[in-house]
């Protein structure tokens, strides 16, 4: 079964389509939609249901939800991508060193990781965001640090497994240095797992950003954020449910797409699943 055929199934097509749509919106929406469109208020049209003038309705300030959801995609993707990259920058070398060398190095590093793992990821992100202060940069830092121990643990386990493989032992016996073994043998063989986990982590990072923004500890107004939009809709759910349904649906579809895409990537990149 070829790699491309593994993508051509229901899960793969839906996942790739949803992810591609969100990424394209995040890239091109700010170029097509002027930022002032998302902040333009029209109190005469406040809480308007979906209509020809406002495809997804308006919020409590008369702002067009279609424009705000489109620009909110950029905020969510930027924060999620930056946070996952940050967790990789910290967690990848941490896990590699811990798994490859083992022994006392592994014990010391993993005890530090276990300390962070003792806190639920969202609670840890909330605490860090509350200490640093709510803004976009601190939201990235908070989510990135909260996800680091999970990636470090996963990478450590894979590095530990690969470091014991015969080809690594053979390279070590031939005089290869530790740095060459890590970079040339261990790292390339754990990258499929890292890529899959990073993709799935993007989905959780988007949920975390929406949760922090909903609680007032993430993205701050007037930035367009799905979490902020849901938070602002709480008092209008009975008479304007679309104010919560529109951003909530955007979050749900994005997370669904990333999870489905991650599952397909796992099937493609896992050597044991290839024929």
Task: Point out the least confidently predicted range of 53-67, 166-180, 220-234, 258-272.
Answer: 258-272
pLDDT tens digits, 193-207: 898 889 889 999 999
pLDDT at 181: 87
Q: What percent of the chain has pLDDT over 90?
A: 27
pLDDT tens digits, 4-43: 566 567 777 888 899 999 999 888 887 877 767 667 787 8
Residue 275: pLDDT above 50? Answer: no
Q: Which residues contact 119 (CB under 8 A, 6 or more apart)?
A: 127
- In this structure, the number of other CB atoms found within 10 A of the CB of residue 244 comes to 18
72 vs 243: CA distance, rounded Å = 14
Q: What percent of the chain has pLDDT over 70?
A: 94
The domain at 61-269 falls in which architecture? Orthogonal Bundle (1.10)
pLDDT at 272: 53
130 vs 187: CA distance, rounded Å = 35
Alpha helices per DSSP H over the chain:
3-7, 10-32, 35-39, 65-101, 103-117, 121-132, 136-163, 166-173, 178-181, 187-214, 226-232, 242-269
CB-side neighbour CA atoms (13 Å) of 74: 17
One DSSP character per residue, 37-74 reads HHH---GGGTTPPS-SSSTT-B-TT--BHHHHHHHHHH
In the structure, what pLDDT confidence band is assigned to residue 92 with cuts at 50, 70 and 90?
A: very high
- Predicted structure pTM score: 0.87
pLDDT tens digits, 135-172: 889 999 999 999 999 999 999 988 988 888 888 888 88
175 vs 21: CA distance, rounded Å = 49
């Amino acid at each position: 079964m070829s790699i491309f055929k593994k993508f051509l199934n229901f899960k793969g097509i839906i996942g790739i389509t949803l992810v591609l749509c969100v990424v394209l919106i995040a890239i091109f929406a700010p170029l097509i939609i002027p930022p002032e469109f998302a902040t333009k208020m029209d109190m005469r049209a406040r809480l308007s249901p979906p209509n020809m003038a406002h495809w997804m309705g308006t919020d409590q300030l008369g702002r067009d939800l279609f424009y705000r959801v489109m620009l909110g995609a950029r905020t969510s993707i930027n924060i999620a991508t930056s946070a996952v990259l940050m967790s990789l920058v910290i967690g990848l070398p941490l896990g590699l060193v811990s798994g490859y060398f083992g022994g006392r190095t592994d014990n010391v590093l993993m005890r530090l990781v276990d300390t962070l793992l003792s806190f639920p990821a969202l609670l840890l992100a909330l605490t860090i965001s509350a200490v640093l202060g709510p803004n976009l940069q601190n939201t990235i830092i908070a989510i990135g640090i909260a996800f680091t121990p999970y990636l470090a643990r996963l990478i450590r386990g894979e590095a530990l497994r690969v470091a014991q493989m015969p080809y690594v032992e053979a390279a070590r016996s031939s005089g290869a240095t530790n740095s060459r073994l890590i970079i040339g043998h261990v790292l390339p063989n754990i990258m499929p797992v890292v890529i899959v986990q990073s993709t799935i982590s993007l989905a959780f990072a988007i949920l975390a950003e929406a949760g922090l923004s909903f609680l007032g500890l993430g993205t701050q107004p007037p930035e367009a954020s799905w979490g902020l939009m849901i938070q602002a809709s709480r008092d209008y759910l009975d008479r304007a449910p679309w104010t919560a349904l529109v951003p909530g649906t955007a979050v749900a579809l994005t997370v669904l797409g990333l999870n489905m895409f991650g599952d397909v990537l796992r099937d493609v990149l896992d050597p044991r699943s290839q024929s």
